[in-house]
Every structure is written in structure tokens, then in C-alpha cells.
Structure 1
Amino acid sequence: MSSQRETETPALVLSMLITLGVVVSGLWWSADRLNMAHLLSISSRAQTSDPEALSSDDVLARTSSGERLLIQSGASPEKHQGVQAIAAGNSRQAAAYFAAALQSTPNDPEALIYLNNAQIGPNPSYAIAVSVPLSQDLNGALEVLRGVAQAQQEINQNGGINGVALRVIIANDENRPPVAKAIARALVANPAVLGVVGHASSEATLAASEIYETGQLVAISPLSTAVDLANAGAYTYRTVPSDFVTARALTDHLLNQIKQQKAAVFFDSRSRYSQSLKAEFVTALSLGGGQVVREIDLSQSTFSAAESIQQVASQGATSLVLLTDGDQLDRALQV
């Protein structure tokens, strides 16, 4: 471990503060300058390289503290100029450009984070990273970034952490475990990073948790719910209830509120989140006296919504329970 990470104790506190901002946002919105030049960025287009064999350049191209835009779509000329100024080391000019960009797009969290970073200038700062699936779920990622940006702004405007400002690095993990692991390795190797907010999917968080445990870097996920995360180690946390809690709430509603005993479950066998929630729901419903009459995998190439509904109806199902994720949303909507 680096000497900075060993001596800077606010890592967990910082992560908790930032994650609090993420949760609130999600509920209501749905001495020298740190050397971040090696942390580059990406466009909002999906990456074409093989995530199983990411090079160091591939990894670094998915991260940014302001040197390049991660979200190209809709970026104003002022936002581009701010990024160019950051890359040139002119933080004062960059701050002016980002402030101008926010006049036209005040809800842009990337611009606000880069503005907050630019305003720190050459002054000492703590640094955390936020890892989100920008190229896989842009809207969801933006909601997380809005919480982070708001919390960072409030912390810095109120004097920072014991007088030290907070700098934020954004990473795009694409909700893909190999990418999440590669980004986690880069963050662990960067002595400036004291904590991580992320990841979004349970698959990505579980994959990265192995790296954080070895590197002793604290990570807090605002969205991952898989029960397996309880055993992810001493450095990975979350702020949302696990699938155990969610499944029992669903079961209570089914059995006690709408009085339905027999259910058919639609899930995605390729999603660790979906598998976890399905397993917990099946157990909870059985313990409550109900029955899952059929489990249907939405990821199967032979899946047919019409045929599935006919099958479960013939088996006595009186309710349909959809426990899938965004990858199978279209098929879930067909049901």
C-alpha cells in the first residue's frame, strides 16, 4: 500500500458521504495538483475492444478527472474547451469554461464534477473514484453522477474534509465484470485514490471486490443487491437492501396484500442479480406457504412470451413475477 493511502484515514468517511449523495439523488431524481494526466477518458460510444484482454491504454481510456469527455453526446463548445484547458494544465480557465457550459446544461453532472475539480486547482485534495456504466446504462449512470457531483460540491463549498477539498475521478465499467476488474486494478494502483463509489451491477461489484480486498481499497456500491456481496470481504460495502430483504417484501405483498398463492417467475440466468433475487424469492414464497409453479429464463433463444404465458396459466399460476435486469427489459415487457 502507498504511504498516502495508509495515512489518509477519511477514505471510508468520504465514500460514505458521497454514497449518501448518490442515494438521495436516486430517491429524488429517480501540495501540487494531483497528477491525473494518466487517467484519460472515453466517448459515450460503446468500446469495441475485447474486455477480456484490456490493455493499460484501454483501461485508462475509460477514466477521467476532466482531461477528456466521457460523454460526447450533447457536449457544448464550452465543455470541450474546459476539457482542453484541463489537459493543458490551466485549471482557472477550465473552471470558467465548465461554469459557462453549465449555464446551458445545468443538469450535466460530468461538467459539474469537472468544474469542482478545476476549482481545486493546484491545491492539495483527497481523491475518490466513481465507477458507473456510462456506455451500457447512460441514464442510470447520470443519476449516480448527479448525486456524486452534488455531494462533492457541497463538501468543497463547506471547506472540504478538514480543510482539504475533494476531487472525483469518473470511470466507465460498462457493467461488465472484466472491465470492472481492470478498472479496479488501476484504481488500487493509483495512490491518490482513497475510496470508490461503485459499482452498479452486482456482477461488476463482485468481480471488482476481489481486487479491492487485495489492494485494501474501500468501495461502496449504491445499487448492488446480490446476497453474495455479504461475503465480498472487509473493503466492499453497499447502501441498498440485499435481495434477501427485497424478496421477502415481494412475497409479503403477493401473499398478504393481493392474496395470490401461485406464481410464475421470469428471470435472466445470465444475470447474477436476477439469479440472486429469483432464488431468494422462490425460498421466501415457499416458506410463506406459496408456490412457484414455473421458472422461465428470458435469456433463452427459444423464449416466447405468448407460449410462456399459456404454459404458466395451464399450471395454475395466478401471478407473474418479473425478476430480470435491464438486459432483458424488452422481453420482460413482452410478458
Structure 2
Amino acid sequence: MKNVKLPYPKALWSAARGVRYAPAIALVLMTSSCEKSFIQESATSAATSSARLSSEPLLTTSYEIEEYSATQILSKIPEGSKAKAFMEIAAQPRLVRQKVEFSLFADGSFEIETAPLEPTRTDLLPEPFRKKKYESVLASKTVVQNNVAHFYDQNGKETQSSKLKGTRFNKLAEKILSSSQLNKDEFANEILGSPLVNEAYILGVARDKNAEIKTNGIVTEIRFDLESFAEESNESTENLSKYTVQHYDFKNKRMLGERLYDKQGDKLLYKSTVFYSPVDKGNQMEKVLSESFFEDPETGVKTKFIKQAFYTGMKVNLNI
């Protein structure tokens, strides 16, 4: 396997900088020249597909995501703090649900459309919050085209737009264009940000970075020192003074979860657990539970951000 420079995942950078809103993504789950399990290569010419030569999308997906989040204040807020009221409001539990539709085109462009839905998992909320009238905090409609996000109100009027940075979907389109076969279940996990894993590739990176590798039954634990990624990350020494522990089920191509620690005192900063549907029913990511721990450098207030994300109704349509 050739040496691949890995872009550092947003989850761990966010946690390393003290940001609480960190999704669960494995350090080494990036598409690479070593990845063979995601897309099955074929010698068939791309010209045989009409979608590759027209304006029709190569593939479309749709799914629903429902997210519960809450912040627990773990220490006393200083008396007279101007931020006390804001912190208490921000700590209130929230439950949001939305539908996501994604289309990928042959030129590497993509479109994403999201719309809020009324939450269904209200049992996750404390009793007083279950009785409150539902009011979505999300835009009535969001459409992403050509890396620009457009936000619309209930009347269909655009209220705001925002330029996005480049995404992983462009490289994904290139791989699809060079192939004639695609595993729908594996693609579904890729869209959700938790692709099914390649054992040889991940273990190769681990050995290249002198990571600690332990195996207990079907679970493989890998401990990465983030300083070993200094060249790829361009981050400060302070942000790299962390280590991550990740757990894999290579037999079923799954990343089971991860934890991020500060080297000083082995302080836990972030942890996540990923749940999947049975292998014979798609092996798709269904739920992610995560916790992020934060200490305000000015006030000393300690908080824990809790998040539960549920993914349902995944549909993948291919036109390649």
C-alpha cells in the first residue's frame, strides 16, 4: 500500500479544539487508493451508461435523520456571570428531524435538499418539553447546488445563502465514473459519513503510524497518537497533544466507536458508539451516540454535550 496522506476528520479536530458539536467519524475511514471494498472496479467503459453522458444524476439517495441533543452543566456557574442565562438556555434539550435528498452527477457536482419534519422520538425529551408545541429551528428548506447552500422560509423565499468548501463527493463521483458496479449498502454508509471499513488499509495506516493494536475476539482496538499526523494536519502542537482509541469489527466492516483523550491526565474529551442494521439487512448505520466534554478556559465551567442521531428510510437509486 502506498503512503497516503490522510486529511484529518472534522470530528477529532473539533473535539481537539474544545468544540462540543463533534460527529462520530473514524480517523482513517477516508477513501484512498488502497480502498477496494467500496467500489468494485470493472473494465466496462463508462460510455455505456446514458446517465454518464446526460444531465441525469448518476445516483440519488433519500433518508431521514432525527437528532436529540442536550448539554449538561457539570460544575457551578460563577455568581454574577453574564453568560449564565445564555448557558442555561443553550443547555436545554432539543429534538429535530429532517428528510435529506441527495443527487450526484457525472461532472462531480451534487445537489442536496433538506426539509424539516415533526419529531417522533419525543420520549427522549424530559416531560415538560414533550408538551411544548413543536417549532422547527431548521430552515423550511435547504438546497445545496454547486457548493452553495440556499436557505428558504415557509413561503419559499430565499432568506440566506452560504458558500461551502469542497467536499468528498467530488472524489466519490470520480470513482463511480470509473466503475460499472456499486454496492448500494456500502454506498449508503458512505453518504451518512461512516463508510464500511477496509481492514488491510486501516491496519496499514496503523502500522505506518506506529499505533498500538490490540485484538479481543472480533473487536480490534487501535490507539493513534495524533502527533504522528502532524505532517498531514498542519495543526499546532497543542491541538496534537491528544490520542484517539478506535474500535473496529473487521469481519463485518464496521467502525464501532472511538474515544479522544488529552495526553495531560488522560482526560476524556469525546466518545462515540455506532450501531448498524444486521449484515443481511444492509449493514447500514442506524444510530450514533456521542458525548463531548468541554471546560470553559475563562469561567472554568465544565459541560457535557450529549447527542443521539437516528438514521432511517435510506433509499439508493443507481443510474449508471
* Higher-helix-fraction structure: 1
TM-score, normalised relative to structure 1: 0.21
Whose RCO is larger (CA < 8 A, sep 6+)?
2
* Higher-strand-fraction structure: 2
TM-score, normalised relative to structure 2: 0.22
